[in-house]
Each structure stands twice: as C-alpha cells, then as structure tokens.
Amino acid sequence: MDCLSLSYKNADVELREKLAFTGCQTAEISDRLCCLGSVQECVLLCTCNRTELYYNGNENAKDEIISILSEAAELESERLKKYLFYFSGDKAIYHLFKVASGIESMVVGEDEILGQTKKAYFAACEAGTVAYELNMIFQAAITCAKKIKTETKLSKSSVSVATLAAAEAAKNCRNILVIGANGKTGSTVVKNLISYKNVNVKAAMRKYHTHGVSFSEKAVEIIDYHKRYEYINHTDCIISATSSPHYTVTLYDLKQYVGDDKNRLFIDLAVPPDIDPAVGEYGNARLINIDYFEELARKNNEIKLSSVREAEEIIQAETDQLKKELLFHDFLPLLDFVKEKMQQKPFEDLLYKMKSEADSNAFLQFINVLKDMVEE
C-alpha cells in the first residue's frame, strides 16, 4: 500500500480547502482512479486538515493520481506535487494507523478522525474500490485506534478544534451565535459553549436541518438561518462551521445590518472557509480561522506526549501482527506445494537454509518456535 498525503503539516488552509472534496467528488475521483488500470484499489480520506489517498498500484500510479487530484482541485500538478508527502509499504501502513488513532491530528488524540477514517473506508467499500489488502489494513487500523482510546489517555483528555474554539469564544464573549450547529463540528461547539456559565448561545440553522438536533432548546435558542445577520448585530462572537460551498457571512451583507464599531470575534472553522476574509478588516472585527488553533493544539499536544509513546507501542505491535497476516495470506496458495516438498526433502535442509539465509533475529525466532514445539 502507498499513500499520498496533504495536511496541515505541509500545506496552509488555502491550499487544503482546494482539496477538501465533497462525498460525491470523493466517489467520482476514486472511481476514475480505479478505472486507470494503474490503480487496483484506493481509499480517499478528506477532512478539514488533511486529504490523503491510500492505494495499491503500479509504477505509473503516483503520477496519474497527482494529475487527477490536481484536475479535481483546479491546481497545477507541479504545484500540488511540491506539497504532497509520499509514504510507501510499511511506512504507509504505519502512517494510516497513526492518523486513525489521532496521533497525526492537529489536536493529538481528537476523536473526530476515527469516525472520518471509518466513513472514508465504508464509502470506498460501497463504491467497490477496495479489495483484500486495503480491507485488512483499514479494519486493523480502525480496531487499533479503538484499542488505543481504551487503553491509553490519548483521547480521554483530548481537546478538539471545536472545544478550543468554544473556549476561545467563551473567554471574552457573552452572546454567541453558532452557524451550522447541526453539523459534527458545530454541534460540538454548542455542547461545549453551554457548559460555560454566563454565556448565551444562539444556533442559526435552516428549518429543514433542525431535525435530530441533540442539544436542549432550553439552553440554546434556535433561529432561522436566513435571519442570521439580524442577530449578528446583537452578538459578541460568531462561529461558523458548515459544509457550505458559499460564504455564510459576507462583508457586503454584514454592512447592511451592522453599522457600529463594537468588538466582535468571528471564528471560521470551515474548510473551504465560511466567512468572507474581508470581514476581519471591518470595524473592530477580529477573524480567526482553523489554523489559529494550531498553536493552542500544540500546547495541548505536549501534555500528551507520554500517551503518544504508549499508543505508538500499541501501533508497532498491531502493525507487526497485520504484516504477518498479509504475508500469510500471500503464502496460502503455496501451502500445499510446500507441504509436499517438505515430505520429499529432509527437515535438516530447511533448518540449514534458514541458518544460511535468515538474519540472526529471524533465525533465533525460528529456533525458539522449534523449541516450543518440542516442549509441547
């Protein structure tokens, strides 16, 4: 398995947003890739902070993948190639395990990435773009991530971007408007906000999106999305976290409703961005986006270094087990042939061949297995 990766580590939010593909785009790209002939199977993972393609293919696959991703993102392929990280074989497997467990996240140990990894994998299964190897690898990575969450403190004290945003808003603001509160990030922001005292929370949602909202309407006032500008005029902080392809707040419309110089905090947690960048230059407005929380996340990450080491030990053991399963699967078609050969040749031939060709660690393990068989 190989992996091409673009994340907050190697690209800014402007570049990442160009590769923040929707579910339909992801399915279309994956289908195109698997029709190339150079790509046998693939899973495309897209989040706010990363776009990664995990795949099996031949020597032409990498360049063809970059070409298709560039076309979909409307970028020059040479520009995209400049920023992509490439992982191959064991390194690609290890990277996926770290991503799924949250070790590679901007906020180490955050919970959302496991669900996003599962969603990407299930979408690939439904689209028929995965076969035995990627099935094995992704299932093992998801299982390992769950084990890490259970056996370490990596996610028990996690602080997600949504939690950090809520803390930033509640620090100095009393009246807060959340746009997109029905989404994963937006709902997490709201749930965190209502845990703070002396904070009034309003949630702007479209009427047909209010079904299934889990937070109490007693704690949150739900307003019509189309009236959001009217409420901004009486709000200290506006947080937007939608999957809209268009701005939810523009400078042009803001000027129609807000004419004072009141200090206002705008927090944009969307990729592509929800809030017109020009808003940050209007009056006493302050606009921060998802990249702002990288430094806050870094401080949180330092606290979790010990948990990361524990998690990496688990990953090392789990990936080793996975590699053995994959090797055994590849060997199975030869099993009967080898058994027949073993009956024709003395066991000593195998023993001396191992002694001659294996390194000392592998030979020691082989000898120990034989000793265990004798003792049994």
pLDDT on residue 214? 52
Say how far apart CA 13 and CA 275 lie, in whole Å: 13
- Whether 237 is catalytic is no
For residue 338, give both structure tokens: 């080898």
Q: How confident is the model at residue 217 (pLDDT cuts 50, 70, 90)?
A: low
Say how far apart CA 265 and CA 172 lie, in whole Å: 9
**Segment 329-337 mean pLDDT:** 76
pLDDT on residue 215? 56
Residue 182 in this model has a pLDDT that exceeds 90: no
Task: Please give the DSSP secondary-structure letter assigned to residue 158.
Answer: -
What φ, ψ does residue 264 adopt, rounded to 5°? -135, 140
Candidates 147, 212, 227; CA nearest to 181 is 212
Domain 161-293 belongs to what topology?
Answer: Rossmann fold (3.40.50)
**Segment 108-126 mean pLDDT:** 89
Domain limits, the chain: 2-155, 161-293
pLDDT on residue 125? 93
The answer to which of 155-169, 179-193, 329-343 has the lowest mean pLDDT is 329-343
Q: In this predicted model, what pLDDT tens digit does every residue of 259-286 receive, in sequence order? A: 777 899 999 999 889 999 999 988 889 9
Share of the chain above pLDDT 70, in %: 92
pLDDT on residue 212? 45
pLDDT on residue 65? 92
Residue 298 in this model has a pLDDT that exceeds 80: no
Per DSSP, helices labelled H in the chain are 13-18, 23-34, 61-73, 77-83, 90-101, 112-127, 132-151, 161-172, 184-193, 228-232, 251-257, 293-303, 305-331, 335-344, 347-357, 360-375
Share of the chain above pLDDT 90, in %: 36
The dotted CATH code for 2-155 is: 3.30.460.30
Residue 211 in this model has a pLDDT that exceeds 60: no
Q: Choosing from 3, 42, 48, 173, which is the catalytic residue? A: 48
The two domains 2-155 and 161-293 share their CATH topology (first three levels equal): no
**Segment 16-25 mean pLDDT:** 87
Say how far apart CA 112 and CA 222 lie, in whole Å: 25
